[in-house]
Amino acid sequence: DTGVSQDPRHKITKRGQNVTFRCDPISEHNRLYWYRQTLGQGPEFLTYFQNEAQLEKSRLLSDRFSAERPKGSFSTLEIQRTEQGDSAMYLCASIRQGSYEQYFGPGTRLTVT
């Protein structure tokens, strides 16, 4: 499978715990995006990387959120001290240089109890 993969697919955690999600983009894609999708809404942009550089962060990304893409390949999204409002689907997408067509992974569904 050469598509975008995300791990885990589902995560249930208790409020106050830290969680980390992983995204593996399509191998030749140099840009990687994170989106958050809450129930009944379309995905909302969180942040994006070009290679290993994080170039933009949404105001949705509070100080409890951090994302990395250390070698310009896979990326991680960490949420510290989770809150119930963090419950959502977290989607990752990647894109190759010069293209506008984003390819999405299956998402990680986070439930904070």
Tokens for 68, please give them: 């990395």
Does 30 sit near another protein (CB under 8 A)? Answer: no
Q: How far is the CB of 56 from another protein (least distance, A)?
A: 5
Fill in the per-residue mask, 48 to 87: x = in contact with another protein (CB under 8 A), - = not in contact: x-x----xx-------------------------------
Local structure of residue 89 (DSSP, 8 states): E
Q: Which is nearer to another protein, 21 or 35 (CB)?
A: 35
Cβ-based burial of 23 (10 A; exposed 0-12, middle 13-18, buried ≥19): buried
In the list 1, 28, 63, 101, the residue contacting another protein (rule: CB under 8 A) is 101
Q: How far is the CB of 101 from another protein (least distance, A)?
A: 6
Q: How far is CA 13 from the centre of its chain?
A: 17
Query: Mind spelling out the 3-state secondary structure of 51-86?
Result: CCEEEEECCCCCCCEEEECCCCCCEEEEECCCCHHH
Answer yes or no: are the C-beta atoms of 44 and 58 closer than 8 Å.
Answer: yes
From the list 13-21, 69-77, 78-86, 88-96, the region that binds another protein by CB under 8 A is 88-96
Which residues sit at the interface with another protein, rule CB under 8 A? 4, 6, 31, 33, 35, 40-45, 48, 50, 55-56, 91, 93, 95, 100-107, 109
